[in-house]
Amino acid sequence: MFEIGLIHDHPLIEWAVSQALAEAPDMRVHLLRAGPAAPLAPAGLPDRLDVLVIDGPPGRSPLTEAAATRAACVLRMDPGAAAGEGAGHGCSERLPERSDPVALAAAVRAAASRSRGVPQPRGPLADGLPLSARERQVLHMLAQGLTHDQTARRLGISRHTVDTYVKRVRGKLGLGNKAELVRAAMAYAGRDLRRGV
User: Could you give the CA distance from residue 126 to residue 87 in angstroms, rounded to a whole number?
Assistant: 19
3-state class of 86 per DSSP?
Answer: coil
User: Mean pLDDT throughout 168-191?
Assistant: 72
Q: Which of 54-58, 105-109, 115-119, 150-154 shows the highest mean pLDDT?
A: 150-154
Give dist(CA 140, CA 163) in Å, integer.
14
- pLDDT at residue 93 greater than cutoff 50: yes
Q: Which CATH architecture has domain 123-195?
A: Orthogonal Bundle (1.10)
**CA gap 145, 20 in Å, rounded:** 22
Q: What is the pTM of this model?
A: 0.57
Tell me which residue of 92, 95, 100 sits closest to 130, measured CA to CA: 100
On the question of pLDDT at 106 being above 70, the answer is: yes
Ramachandran class of 28: left when φ > 0, alpha when ψ lies in -120 to 50, beta otherwise: beta
Numbered ranges of CATH 1.10.10.10 in the chain: 123-195
∠ CA 96-64-66, nearest 5°, is: 135
pLDDT-derived band at 109 (thresholds 50, 70, 90) equals confident
The dotted CATH code for 2-115 is 3.40.50.2300
- Cite the residue boundaries of each domain of the chain with CATH code 3.40.50.2300: 2-115
